[in-house]
């Protein structure tokens, strides 16, 4: 079964064509990595799939529902089914971390104050934040803690599908590895489907089952083992460049 | 929202069997239903039983659902019931156990301690004093930077100053002119109504001319500019602060005061007197129009009377205040912008503070000027 399916997506900004009949398929239960050069339209693709941006052409299905022409109310209900984290965290700066996690719950669920507190705290514990972090404001958190808090907010409604925009960007290798571990653990425990935009080769090799690379305004999708052998020059230099070498990604292995 | 009776049986099927209370889980145990499930659990009556048997069946709770299962266990345990399962205890419940641990550890963050009224007053006084001290320090630093910059060609930022003259001055002309026109019409109209009773219609002209030139022209212009540009200064610099742009400037070795504060202050010092001249002109024009329409006064006579009523200092008394008001507005706006830290709420709060304080300071300064001019008899 497909969790996310996008067909023939065309996105144009003025004369600039970002996506030209791009296709995307994400299977239920898999972790799907989206890779691409700066400015190749990764974030636009994510915004399109999330229903935040309406494509010029093409259709997007989430759990089988076509969303590009969905009304506000139906789209709102659908938004409870997936969680999103944004590149810079996008935590609400005037709310504490706990209130940040509670905001989607208040919006979509009808809970008692006790349930609200405990469930929010549960999510914080789940992503490995200490209990006292809940009372802090986003400005008081470190980069790694912001990523975790954003993850906790994305998990607030127990979604089956998680979209992550650069979950490890801007973190030191140890914190990034900790986030990778966390994602692997959460995926097992909560049987999540994860779609992530990332540049971090570590994250791709440890977490992703399949990878889609945006080249020439289209998405080239293959398994991890398959994609490294793709002949496209950008993909070659991405997976076989200087930085990739330490992972031992040699041609043909 | 109250659970209706039909719904109450969806998640829990209860069979009391002597000592044992059998609860069969049903329906979906997901986040969306947890509100209802919790109410059903809280409505359960354990009083006549000693054991709780939870029959899981085919239910697969998600994390929120697992929290509800755990809540059911806890409620039973609180009443002294022993809990067992028919079938496996859902794995997600164990996950919640691990995450939440001891329920006692779950406590709301302590509320900020509240002192007495007296201590609150003291805190407030100290905060206000510190605020004024910081403001004065800021003004002092800006002055020192300005004086140093005068002798350093590189510290002049003519393009930046020009931009601020445009943003705060040129673009404000329409609204300033419109308001000056309306205000002078109001003054002339009110004056005409009263002065007509004494047959002193001609003094309406004096009223409009002196009122607009000495006070209303510059004061209204300053208040409009404080609302437009004081808020813009605070919001722009505040957003730069949130975005770490101000830190980036410092790290580059550029003084934020030099590039952010001084060009704005200088631009406003140039723009506000010019705006005031426009407001004065449009104000006198408006008065003339009303006198012509309402009092049948020929425009030639109006202009003659205006000329007679303007003393040596009437115009200068008004215009001299404009640069002072400009500095007050610019310093308050930029100072509040520099104070923004951490959150978007702070940005909104300090922008509001900037506007309110700059208007207050403008009016206060105007009052002081009035006293001063009276003392020196002009």
Strand partners, B175: none
3-class DSSP assignment, residue B90: coil
Alpha-carbon distance A6 to nearest alpha carbon in chain B (angstroms) = 27
Question: Architecture of domain A1-80+209-253 in CATH?
Answer: 3-Layer(aba) Sandwich (3.40)
Q: Mean pLDDT over residues A51-74, rounded?
A: 85
B38 and A111 within 8 Å at the Cβ level: the answer is yes
Chain centroid, CA A206 distance in Å: 15
CA of A136, closest CA in chain B: separation in Å? 10
User: Which pLDDT does position A249 carry in this prediction?
Assistant: 54
CA separation for the pair B378, B278 (Å, rounded)? 23
Residue A226 CA to residue A251 CA, distance in Å, equals 11
Query: Is A158 a residue whose pLDDT tops 50?
Result: yes
What phi and psi, each to the nearest 5 degrees, are found at residue A67? -110, -15
N-terminal to C-terminal alpha carbon distance within chain A: 30
Please tell me the CATH superfamily of domain B5-105, with its number.
Answer: STAS domain (3.30.750.24)
The position carrying tokens 């002209």 is B205
Instruction: Please return the burial class of A225, using the count of CB atoms within 10 Å of its CB with bins 0-12, 13-18 and 19+.
Output: exposed
**Structure confidence at residue A243 (pLDDT):** 67
Residues belonging to chain B with any Cβ–Cβ distance to chain A shorter than 8 Å: 1, 30-32, 34-36, 38-39, 62-65, 67, 71, 91-92, 95-96, 99-100, 105-106, 108-109, 242, 341-345
Buried b (16+ CB within 10 A) or exposed e, B138-153: bbeebeebbeebeeee
For residue B295, give the 3-state DSSP assignment: coil
Separation CA B9–CA B37 (nearest Å): 10
The mean pLDDT of A99-112, rounded to a whole number, is 85
Report CB contact under 8 Å: B67, A118: yes
For chain B, what's the residue count?
Answer: 378
Smallest CA-to-CA distance from B154 within B76, B259, B61, B72 is with B259
- Specify the domain boundaries for CATH 3.30.750.24 within chain B: 5-105
Nearest CA in chain A to B349: A94
Q: What is the reported pLDDT for A248?
A: 58
Eight-state DSSP code of residue A129? -
Query: What confidence score (pLDDT) does residue B114 get?
Result: 63
Identify all chain B residues contacting A93, using CB atoms and an 8 Å cutoff. 242, 342-345
Q: Which residues of chain A neighbour B108 with C-beta distances below 8 Å? A: 117
- Which residues in chain A have their CB less than 8 angstroms from residue B62's CB? 158, 190
Q: Which residues of chain B have pLDDT under 70?
A: 1-10, 102-114
Contact B345 A109 (CB under 8 A): no
The tokens for A100 are 């940040």
Q: Which of residues 210-239 of A touch B (CB under 8 A)?
A: none
Closest CA to A245 of A231, A230, A232, A228: A228
Does B344 sit within 8 Å of A132, measured CB to CB?
no
* Interchain CB distance below 8 Å, B1 and A118: no
Interface test with B, best of A115, A160, A190 (most B CBs within 10 A): A115
What digits encode the pLDDT tens for the residues A181-201? 888 888 888 888 999 998 888
Count CB neighbours of B2 within 10 A: 8
Which three-class secondary structure state does DSSP give residue B30? coil
> Which residue in B32, B38, B96 is closest to A115 by CB distance?
B38
Least Cα distance to B237 among B253, B222, B252, B259 occurs for B259
Hey, are the CB atoms on B109 and A98 less than 8 Å from each other?
yes
Average pLDDT, chain A: 84
User: Cα–Cα–Cα angle for A8, A10, A14, nearest 5°?
Assistant: 170
Give chain A's count of helices (H) and strands (E). 10, 10
Closest partner CB to B31 (pick from A112, A139, A158): A158
Query: If you search the block for the tokens 């008692």, which residue do you land on?
Result: A112
Please give the pLDDT value at position A252. Answer: 40
- A156, A84 contact by CB (below 8 A): no
CB-based burial of residue B105 (10 Å sphere; 0-12 exposed, 13-18 middle, 19+ buried)?
exposed
Q: Residue A66 — φ and ψ, nearest 5°?
A: -75, 125
């Amino acid at each position: 079964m497909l969790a996310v399916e996008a067909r023939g997506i065309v996105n144009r900004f003025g004369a600039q064509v970002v996506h030209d009949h791009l296709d995307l398929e994400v299977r239920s239960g898999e972790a799907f990595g989206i890779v691409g050069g700066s400015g190749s339209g990764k974030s636009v693709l994510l915004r399109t799939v999330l229903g935040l941006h309406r494509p010029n052409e093409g259709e997007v299905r989430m759990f089988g529902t076509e969303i590009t022409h969905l009304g506000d109310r139906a789209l709102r209900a659908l938004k409870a089914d997936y969680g999103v984290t944004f590149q810079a965290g996008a935590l609400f700066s005037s709310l504490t971390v706990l209130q940040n996690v509670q905001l989607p719950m208040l919006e979509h669920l009808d809970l008692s104050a006790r349930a609200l507190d405990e469930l929010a705290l549960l999510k914080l514990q789940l992503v490995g934040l200490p209990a006292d972090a809940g009372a802090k404001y986003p400005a008081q958190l470190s980069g790694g803690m912001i990523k975790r808090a954003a993850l906790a907010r994305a998990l607030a409604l127990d979604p089956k599908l998680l979209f992550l925009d650069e979950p490890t960007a801007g973190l030191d290798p140890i914190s990034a590895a900790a986030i990778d571990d966390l994602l692997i653990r959460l995926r097992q425990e909560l049987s999540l489907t994860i779609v992530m935009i990332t540049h971090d080769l570590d994250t791709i090799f440890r977490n992703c089952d399949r990878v889609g690379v945006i080249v020439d305004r289209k998405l080239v999708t293959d398994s991890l083992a398959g994609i490294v052998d793709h002949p496209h020059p950008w993909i070659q230099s991405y997976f076989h460049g200087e930085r990739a070498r330490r992972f031992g990604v040699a041609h043909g292995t | 929202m109250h659970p209706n009776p039909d719904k109450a049986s969806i998640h829990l099927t209860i069979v009391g069997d002597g000592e044992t209370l059998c609860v069969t889980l049903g329906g979906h145990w997901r986040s969306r239903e947890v509100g209802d499930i919790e109410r059903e659990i809280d409505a359960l009556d354990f009083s006549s039983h000693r054991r709780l048997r939870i029959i899981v069946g085919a239910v697969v709770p998600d994390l929120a659902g697992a929290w509800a299962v755990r809540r059911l266990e806890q409620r039973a345990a609180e009443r002294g019931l022993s809990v067992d399962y028919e079938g496996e205890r859902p794995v997600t419940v164990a996950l919640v156990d691990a995450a939440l641990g001891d329920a006692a550890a779950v406590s709301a963050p302590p509320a900020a301690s509240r002192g007495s009224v007296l201590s609150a007053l003291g805190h407030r006084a100290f905060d206000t004093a510190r605020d004024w001290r910081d403001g004065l320090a800021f003004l002092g630093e800006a002055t020192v930077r300005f004086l140093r910059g005068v002798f350093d060609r590189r510290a002049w930022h003519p393009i930046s100053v020009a931009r601020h003259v445009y943003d705060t001055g040129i673009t404000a002309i329409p609204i300033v002119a419109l308001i000056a026109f309306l205000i002078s019409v109001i003054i002339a109209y009110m004056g005409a109504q009263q002065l007509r009773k004494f047959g002193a219609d001609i003094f309406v002209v004096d009223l409009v001319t002196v009122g607009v030139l000495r006070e209303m022209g510059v004061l209204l212009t300053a208040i409009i500019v404080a609302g437009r540009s004081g808020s813009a200064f605070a919001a722009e610099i505040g957003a730069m602060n949130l975005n770490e742009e101000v830190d980036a400037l410092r790290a580059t070795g550029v003084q934020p005061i030099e590039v952010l504060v001084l060009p704005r202050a200088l631009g406003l010092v140039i723009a506000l007197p010019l705006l005031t001249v426009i407001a004065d002109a449009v104000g006198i024009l408006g008065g003339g129009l009303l006198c012509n329409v309402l009092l049948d006064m020929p425009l030639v006579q109006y202009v003659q009377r205006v000329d007679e009523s303007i003393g040596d200092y009437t115009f200068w008394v008004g215009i001299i205040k404009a640069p002072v008001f400009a500095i007050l507005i610019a310093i308050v706006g930029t100072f509040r912008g520099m104070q923004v830290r951490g959150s978007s709420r702070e940005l909104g709060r300090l922008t509001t503070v900037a506007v309110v304080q700059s208007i207050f300071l403008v009016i206060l300064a105007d009052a002081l000027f009035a006293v001063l001019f009276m003392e020196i008899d002009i």
